[in-house]
Amino acid sequence: MRLLSALLPATCAFALVIEPTAGHLRDSVALSNIHRPSVFSWLRKQSSILTSTEEGSEDADFAAWLSTQSALSFEGILANIGPDGANVAGQNVKPGVVVASPSREHPNYFYHWVRDGAITMRALVDEYEMSGNTSVKAIIDAYVDNVRSTQWTSNPSGQVGRGGLGEPKFEVDGRAFVGTWGRPQRDGPALRAITLISYMRALQRRGASIDSLHYLYDLIKPDLEYTSKFWASPGFDLWEEQEGLHFFTAMVQYKALLLGEQVSSDFSDQGAGRWYHIQANGVKQFLLSFWDDERGYLVETLATARSGLDAALLLGAIHGGSETVFPMHSDMIIASLQALVADMRVRYPVNEQDLYDSNDGPVAVGIGRYPEDVYSGGDLINSELGNPWFLCTATVAHTLYGLVESLALSNTGLMISNLTADFYLPFLSRTIEPDYYDFSATAAWSRSATILGFKPGSRETEQVISNIFHYADGFLKIVRKHSDGEGNMSEQFDRQTGFMRGARQLTWSFESVLGAIKMRERAVEAIEKRRAFYKRF
Ligand code: NOJ
Ligand code: NOJ
């Protein structure tokens, strides 16, 4: 096997041609200025892409873990919801309040965060929509009641009906939290609106009439109003540290406004609909400013001194992405994922073992919030170094499954651009060395130009889909490795030892793993459909 880098005239868009061995030549479609062929041979074994059920096999173990862990994650979430959750019962937690973690010291997370609460309830809404489970519905209804009283609670971010909706966290008995904090955080109302709207839709699908759902619109509307009026104002980021304008925040604001436009028309609130439409377009334009062409990835915060790389970029795609704006499979999200993972791979000593153990393509590792993080999960700030987080690691898996689903459902084949070449090429052949595709040498090239394409049904396309799926599984296996035998997950795991650190039984950790597993199920379904279509795989 031989690999040749393409040597190109500086003026033409960079093209790397990977020409498969003779038999598959016809499957390769070169889409732009293809210049020089190189020999390519894909090496990955075509192992069973879905989980085999052969007992005792690694795949069967993983499949068993997935199903146990989704059940345990769901239980873990319920355990942290008042008043009766196993971890919070008898501790004066109001019905429908989602406690971030039962940990009361080092750190004290015994509060209701608006963000964590909305994201978690969204998972319960999905469950209710699927199963119609009435006890889940009762919990969501309690949350809804609690949203009403929260919205009417004056707090340090401001008064009822005004700035107060930007308050990030509340006491578990519903009172305002009055200590110093990074406030306001403007993602909260948007996330809450998204959750309430999805609940409304779930109720409709289960037969409720629009007329019976006015009480929900009365709660959704203040959050939409807040979002529509403050999206251009700086606030604290989801990690509660940086004041500024943030990608994650803008993404969920965009989604809330898009959904809000539809909902307002259901309630014949035309004026509001037009207003949300205009504002949504504003946010959409604004979102483009987070792309940093020089760095080749999205930045989480504008004008930040940090690198801008952040797991929040992926969380933005998961919770805010739409068909038109930064879906999980978009090149810009994938390029950002690639850059983030590349950083994290070498950042934490605990990842070294995984890198060392593997001789098989790109390796999944533990992922932290962002490279510069110094929060080690206790009380002290700036005294230690950050660690990988369960939710960030699960988020990479989730995003990759989202990509797999979209690739599997697409009939346009695989398109690799300058932006995503670093991500995709290693899945084609692990023997390609980085300097074989050093694009920096080419003067004039467009980042988004497709440099290589493969037809749907070609061995290469199908290989890449399968390999990315396995790669995604790798991130969940990291989660498995560092959680305990009972499916518990704290916030972080130690950068050196891998042992759990930070707030224990973090609600959001459970939600994120559950979310990734759900996305995996969708990816599997899409792959199965595809296989039925392209019979040869
Ligand atoms: C608690 C915050 O929630 C966390 O995000 C932050 O990193 C630490 N405090 C340190 O500021
Ligand atoms: C700290 C995290 O940075 C923040 O995003 C989260 O809302 C709180 N902890 C509560 O889990």
Nearest CA to ligand 2 atom 1: 239
Q: For a ligand 1 pocket test, name from 381, 382, 384 the mutation site with the most ligand atoms within 8 angstroms of its C-beta.
A: 381
Find the range with the poorest average confidence among 216-225, 364-373, 417-426. 417-426
Look at residue 314 and tell me whether its pLDDT is greater than 60. yes
Find the range with the poorest average confidence among 130-139, 417-426, 527-536. 527-536
Q: For a ligand 2 pocket test, name from 109, 119, 508 the mutation site with the most ligand atoms within 8 angstroms of its C-beta.
A: 508
Do 503 and 491 contact (CB within 8 A), yes or no? yes
Predicted local confidence at residue 162, as pLDDT: 79
CA 480/CA 511 separation, integer angstroms: 15
Q: Tell me how far the alpha carbon of residue 339 lies from the centroid of ligand 2, in angstroms.
A: 23
Q: In this prediction, what percent of the chain has a pLDDT beyond 70? A: 84
Give mean pLDDT, residues 297-310.
97
Work out the pLDDT band at 384, boundaries 50, 70, 90.
Answer: confident
Choice between 468 and 356, residue whose per-residue pLDDT is larger: 468
pTM: 0.88
Do 247 and 299 contact (CB within 8 A), yes or no? yes
- Catalytic-role residue among 127, 187, 223, 237: 237
Work out the pLDDT band at 41, boundaries 50, 70, 90.
Answer: very low
Look at residue 4 and tell me whether its pLDDT is greater than 80. no
Residue 238: closest CA among 179, 182, 193: 182
CA 377/CA 385 separation, integer angstroms: 10
Residue 463: closest CA among 519, 433, 420, 425: 425
Do 186 and 256 contact (CB within 8 A), yes or no? no
Q: Tell me how far the alpha carbon of residue 239 lies from the centroid of ligand 2, in angstroms.
A: 6
239 CB near ligand 1 (under 6 Å): yes
Q: In this prediction, what percent of the chain has a pLDDT beyond 90? A: 76
Look at residue 54 and tell me whether its pLDDT is greater than 80. no
Work out the pLDDT band at 42, boundaries 50, 70, 90.
Answer: very low
- Catalytic-role residue among 84, 240, 372, 384: 240
Do 18 and 448 contact (CB within 8 A), yes or no? no
CA 125/CA 200 separation, integer angstroms: 9
Which ligand is closest to the CA of 311, given by its number?
2
CA 31/CA 20 separation, integer angstroms: 15
Mean model confidence pLDDT for the chain: 87
241 CB near ligand 1 (under 6 Å): yes
Residue 366: closest CA among 239, 525, 476, 283: 476
Work out the pLDDT band at 27, boundaries 50, 70, 90.
Answer: very low
Cα dihedral 310, 312, 318, 319, rounded to 10, equals -170
Choice between 237 and 439, residue whose per-residue pLDDT is larger: 237
Q: Which helix (H) or strand (E) holds 258?
A: helix 247-266
- DSSP letters, 343-387, are HHHHH-THHHHHHHH--SSS------S-TT----SSS-SSSS---
Q: Tell me how far the alpha carbon of residue 348 lies from the centroid of ligand 1, in angstroms.
A: 19
Work out the pLDDT band at 252, boundaries 50, 70, 90.
Answer: very high
Q: Is 438 part of the annotated catalytic residue set?
A: no
Do 478 and 330 contact (CB within 8 A), yes or no? no
Choice between 37 and 417, residue whose per-residue pLDDT is larger: 417
Work out the pLDDT band at 429, boundaries 50, 70, 90.
Answer: low
Predicted local confidence at residue 286, as pLDDT: 98
Residue 228: closest CA among 257, 203, 255: 257
240 CB near ligand 1 (under 6 Å): yes
User: Closest ligand 2 atom to the C-alpha of 238?
Assistant: 5
Choice between 12 and 124, residue whose per-residue pLDDT is larger: 124
Predicted local confidence at residue 436, as pLDDT: 37
| pLDDT tens digits, one per residue of 472-482 | 999 999 999 99
Please classify residue 144 by burial: count the beta carbons closer than 10 Å to its beta carbon, then call 0-12 exposed, 13-18 middle and 19+ buried: middle
Predicted local confidence at residue 229, as pLDDT: 98
Work out the pLDDT band at 383, boundaries 50, 70, 90.
Answer: low
Do 78 and 85 contact (CB within 8 A), yes or no? yes
Predicted local confidence at residue 444, as pLDDT: 43
Nearest CA to ligand 1 atom 1: 240
CA 457/CA 530 separation, integer angstroms: 9
- Residue 129 C-alpha from the chain's centroid: 21
Predicted local confidence at residue 39, as pLDDT: 20
CA 279/CA 351 separation, integer angstroms: 43
CA 534/CA 247 separation, integer angstroms: 38
Give mean pLDDT, residues 288-300.
96
Find the range with the poorest average confidence among 256-265, 291-300, 437-446, 460-469. 437-446
Sign of the torsion angle spanned by Cα atoms 301, 305, 306, 308: positive
Predicted local confidence at residue 28, as pLDDT: 33
Give mean pLDDT, residues 497-524.
98
Work out the pLDDT band at 71, boundaries 50, 70, 90.
Answer: very high
In Å, how far are 16, 442, 510 from 12, measured between CA atoms? 12, 8, 48
Q: How many residues does the chain have?
A: 537
Compute and round to an integer the Cα radius of gyration of the chain: 24
Which ligand is closest to the CA of 185, given by its number?
2
Predicted local confidence at residue 156, as pLDDT: 97
CA 261/CA 268 separation, integer angstroms: 11
199 CB near ligand 1 (under 6 Å): no
| pLDDT tens digits, one per residue of 102-160 | 999 999 999 999 999 999 999 999 999 999 999 999 999 999 999 999 999 999 999 88
| pLDDT tens digits, one per residue of 439-454 | 443 434 566 677 788 9
Q: Which residues contact 370 (CB under 8 A, 6 or more apart)?
A: 239, 300, 306, 307, 309, 310, 311, 312, 386
Q: Is 372 part of the annotated catalytic residue set?
A: no
Work out the pLDDT band at 343, boundaries 50, 70, 90.
Answer: very high
Q: For a ligand 2 pocket test, name from 109, 374, 512 the mutation site with the most ligand atoms within 8 angstroms of its C-beta.
A: 109
Q: Which residues contact 302 (CB under 8 A, 6 or more apart)?
A: 244, 245, 246, 289, 290
Find the range with the poorest average confidence among 17-31, 254-268, 321-335, 487-501. 17-31
Q: For a ligand 1 pocket test, name from 105, 169, 241, 376 the mutation site with the most ligand atoms within 8 angstroms of its C-beta.
A: 241
User: Closest ligand 1 atom to the C-alpha of 375?
Assistant: 7
Please classify residue 535 by burial: count the beta carbons closer than 10 Å to its beta carbon, then call 0-12 exposed, 13-18 middle and 19+ buried: exposed
Helix (H), strand (E), coil (C) string for 272-313: HHHHHHHHHHHHHHHHHHHEECCCCEECCECCCCCCCCCHHH
Nearest CA to ligand 2 atom 10: 100
Helix (H), strand (E), coil (C) string for 116-144: HHHHHHHHHHHHHHHHCCHHHHHHHHHHH
Predicted local confidence at residue 2, as pLDDT: 27
Choice between 357 and 419, residue whose per-residue pLDDT is larger: 419
Look at residue 6 and tell me whether its pLDDT is greater than 70. no
375 CB near ligand 1 (under 6 Å): yes
Largest CA distance in the chain: 72
